[in-house]
């Protein structure tokens, strides 16, 4: 459904009226397209504290050149060397004069270091960057985003920096992403990094799942569109359009994992758990079948099929698992105790399995946690609730299915092997939750 308020605020009368009334003034977001693959403008590379990160070669490969005298498309502040409260003054000194030069829909990325358990002063200073990032994201406005990346190796963070410094991350803000040691060499082709890889996307016949399948296919993957038999027509339509194949089965069936393995004898590189349902009702009015069905689809089936595909070796080494959580599982939502529980369970799965999946199977697992995303489901939400959902984030608007898809594609990227066990909210920095 069209966001009429967003269009109205883009007009001269709309800007005047909303400014006078103190109403949100969302800015149209710049998203990736073949015609506009990069942000407009240059990049400011700043430093706070003493850093030996060697970041310049990586930034040079992101496609954004150095900023000139005009507005900057992005600012990257290397704060990995910040170790004391006094060092934090350099964060202020670096960004205070630079922020006014960041263009609308620009990017601010802070780079921090992992917290040192042996140095509580360093840990305090680095943790301060998180509060700083989230607060700055809520005040920059005009479609700008602010994120923090914790890292020790610049090369390992290249795919992450390319994502955050591009139009693909338009609806990702206020996030803290940890990047570990590098796992694989970068792909030979950054424009089609998934060429030769097979991706299975569940719930891919429509909505967010369809957008994910489309984005992975754009990046070169052979896509298997999985959905329930009732969605056969839509699933086959999507698969045919993307040059992939349709797989019709119920993910809640006990043999779902075995049937997927049988359908993919050559193995699987990317497992995208997108299928999910809602059966909203307050707990006092919720019959057991509503509880059971949501937990079964959204969580139990994810656990079973993941376990089965890892055990059978269907998911190849170097593979990626991306599961769909939700801000409802992080912040909670009235009328969604079942849904919130299921999505919080996905977060627990990711954080627990990540180190073992990597060590034992060479596979990473991460989650995307969408906020208010414009879909047919949200279009059916009552008007005032829908408008509140759209405005309750730092970007003051709903996201699009492609925003979730682009984040999924980054996590699925061959060069994203150093990103593991992360839960990344795609919510425009929702004002709810952490």
- Known catalytic residues are 339
Residue 100 CB neighbour total at 10 angstroms = 8
Write the DSSP assignment of 85-102 as a string of letters. HHHHHHHHHHHTTTGGGE
114 DSSP assignment = -
E-strand stretches of 137-244: 145-150, 176-178, 198-202, 222-227
Owner of token pair 């019959």:
287
Strand (E) or helix (H) holding 245: strand 245-248
Are the C-beta atoms of residues 394 and 371 closer than 8 Å to each other? no
Closest CA to 370 of 290, 427, 306: 427
Alpha carbon distance 322, 201 (integer Å):
10
Helices (H), 96-242: 120-137, 158-164, 207-218, 232-242
Classified as helix, coil or strand, 123 is: helix
Give the pair of three-digit tokens for residue 343. 């999505």
Are the C-beta atoms of residues 409 and 402 closer than 8 Å to each other? no
Are the C-beta atoms of residues 364 and 320 closer than 8 Å to each other? yes
């Amino acid at each position: 459904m069209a966001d009429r308020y967003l269009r109205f605020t883009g007009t001269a009368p709309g800007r005047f009226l909303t400014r006078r009334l103190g109403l949100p003034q969302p800015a149209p977001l710049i998203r990736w397209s073949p015609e506009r693959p990069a942000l407009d403008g240059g990049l400011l590379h700043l430093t706070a504290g003493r850093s030996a990160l060697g970041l310049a070669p990586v930034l040079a490969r992101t496609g954004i050149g150095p900023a000139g005298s005009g507005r900057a498309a992005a600012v990257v502040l290397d704060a990995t060397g910040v170790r004391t409260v006094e060092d934090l003054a350099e964060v202020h000194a670096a960004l205070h004069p630079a922020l006014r030069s960041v263009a609308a829909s620009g990017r601010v990325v802070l780079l921090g270091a992992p917290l040192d358990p042996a140095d509580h002063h360093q840990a305090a200073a680095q943790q301060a960057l998180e509060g700083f990032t989230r607060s700055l994201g809520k005040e920059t406005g005009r479609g700008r985003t602010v994120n923090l990346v914790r890292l020790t190796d610049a090369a390992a963070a290249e795919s992450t920096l390319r994502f955050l410094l591009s139009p693909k991350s338009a609806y990702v803000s206020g996030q803290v992403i940890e990047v570990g040691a590098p796992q694989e060499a970068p792909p030979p082709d950054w424009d089609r990094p998934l060429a030769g890889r097979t991706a299975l996307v569940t719930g891919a016949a429509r909505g967010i799942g369809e957008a994910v399948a489309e984005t992975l296919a754009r990046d070169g993957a052979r896509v298997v569109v999985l959905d329930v038999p009732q969605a056969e027509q839509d699933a086959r339509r999507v698969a045919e359009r993307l040059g992939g194949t349709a797989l019709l089965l119920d993910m809640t069936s006990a043999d779902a994992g075995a049937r997927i393995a049988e359908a993919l004898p050559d193995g699987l590189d990317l497992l995208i758990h997108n299928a999910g349902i809602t059966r909203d009702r307050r707990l006092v009015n919720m019959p057991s079948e509503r509880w059971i069905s949501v937990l079964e689809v959204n969580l139990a089936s994810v656990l079973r099929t993941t376990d089965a595909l890892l055990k059978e070796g269907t998911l190849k080494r170097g593979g990626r698992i991306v599961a769909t959580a939700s801000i409802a599982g992080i912040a909670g939502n009235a009328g969604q105790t079942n849904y919130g529980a299921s999505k919080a369970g996905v977060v627990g799965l990711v954080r627990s399995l990540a180190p073992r999946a990597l060590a034992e199977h060479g596979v990473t697992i991460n989650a995307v946690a969408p906020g208010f995303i414009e879909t047919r489901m949200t279009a059916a939400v009552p008007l005032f609730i829908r408008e509140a959902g759209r405005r309750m984030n730092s970007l003051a608007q709903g996201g699009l299915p492609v925003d979730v898809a682009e984040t999924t594609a980054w996590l699925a990227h061959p060069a994203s092997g150093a990103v593991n066990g992360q839960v990344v909210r795609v919510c425009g920095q929702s004002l709810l939750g952490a």
